[in-house]
Each structure stands twice: as structure tokens, then as C-alpha cells.
Amino acid sequence: MFKKTAKFAELLNHYAHMVEHGYERRVGSRVCATYSDQEAIKFRHELKPLFQQRNIRSVLDYGGGGGDWREKEVPEGGTLAEFLSIEEYLVFEPSRAVDDRKKTEAIVCFDVMEHIYLGDVGFVLSDIFDLAERLVVVNVATYAANALLPNGENAHITQRHSQWWRGVLELISAAHPKVEVVLYASESYGKATRIGPWRFADLNAAKGYKR
């Protein structure tokens, strides 16, 4: 079982401070509106067939920032929730003291894991998989952020290659073999590589051992 480190609460305090007071950027400017964007909008054309093919109607946005699928409009018209045919939308955003966590058909986690301290990655991903009934979708950035933490460190504190994240997700998903997993690894803000979907149950059912 994974347990939180002391750095988990320290970082959460940093992010709560950034939400309230803004943050500095590497280029020297300052941003006042912190985590108010809805990152999932960038992936709406990827999410739509994923959800439609699996008849996903309930979603928990794990680390949802300040966005809300029921309010954020998409270029095609209507809200993101309407575009994706989502009937139940829940949010977990600890930096804003929002916690609607419960088991849902799909858990989405966009632009979160790179902000998690290395020693807490297993704890957070285990929590995500415990809440997922059928599908987990994770987007993670593999590059340095423009944002700086209040202590001056880069906000993307866990920068790892996409295959590292794939391995970590495969390891966690082994304990949840029926949950389908999709990883979007972003090499830059506007470019992401899709890995998956996979279910560990299918890997177990295949002949042989090497994967």
C-alpha cells in the first residue's frame, strides 16, 4: 500500500497559495489566474469516441483546477459535458478544497501527475484507480513548466519520459485488471502522444509472459 509523504501536504499548501495569490513564471512575468483553464477541452475530440464507444456517462475530474465541464463551452457549441454526453460530472481539486470523490465510470486526470512529488505518485494513482469503475484517462506533461512554485522550483516537479509514465501506470493497473487505461503524454503544450488503451486483464489473457 502506498502512503503519502510529508511533501504531499507541503506541495498542496504551495498550490493553494498559488490559487489565491498567483505565481511567477520563468520568463519573469506574473500570472494571477491560477489553474482556471479546462485542459480537457484540448482533448475533446479524443475523449468523445472513447466515451461513446464505452457508453461513459459519469466522470470524475481528478485535479480539475478551476474549470467545470458543465460551464466551459467548446467551439462546436454547448458545454464540454454536453459535447461528451456526460450526465454526471464530479470534481476533485484539493488546492481549492473541492472534494466530490466517489466511484464513477471514468476518471480523467489532466495536467496533474507532473505536479505530484515522486514519492507520492503511487499514492495518487492508486487513489485514481480505486475510484474508477471502467476507464482511467491520464494526461501528463513531460516537459518543464513556465510556472514556478513559491519556493522557486519548477511547478512540473516530476518530469519523466512518456515510457516511464507508461510503466508506472501499467504497474498500478495490474491491481485493477478490468479497468481500461489511456495515457496522453504531452511533449509540449500543444502536442501529445497517445499510449493505449489497455486492460491488464487482456495482458494476462495473452499467451506468454513478455510484454
pTM: 0.92
Cβ contact 38:86 at 8 Å: no
Count of residues making up the chain: 211
Q: Show the cell assigned to 174.
A: 495490474
3-state secondary structure of 143: coil
Phi, psi for residue 102 in degrees, rounded to 5: -160, 165
Per-residue pLDDT of the chain (211 residues; tens, 9 = 90+): 799 999 999 999 998 888 888 777 787 777 676 655 667 888 899 999 999 999 999 999 999 887 788 887 888 889 999 999 999 999 999 988 899 999 999 999 999 999 999 999 999 999 999 999 999 999 999 999 989 999 999 999 999 999 999 999 999 999 999 999 999 999 888 789 999 999 999 999 999 988 8
178: left (phi > 0), else alpha (psi -120 to 50), else beta? Answer: alpha
Whole-number Å distance between alpha carbons of 15 and 13: 5
Burial of 68 (0-12, 13-18, 19+ CB in 10 A): middle
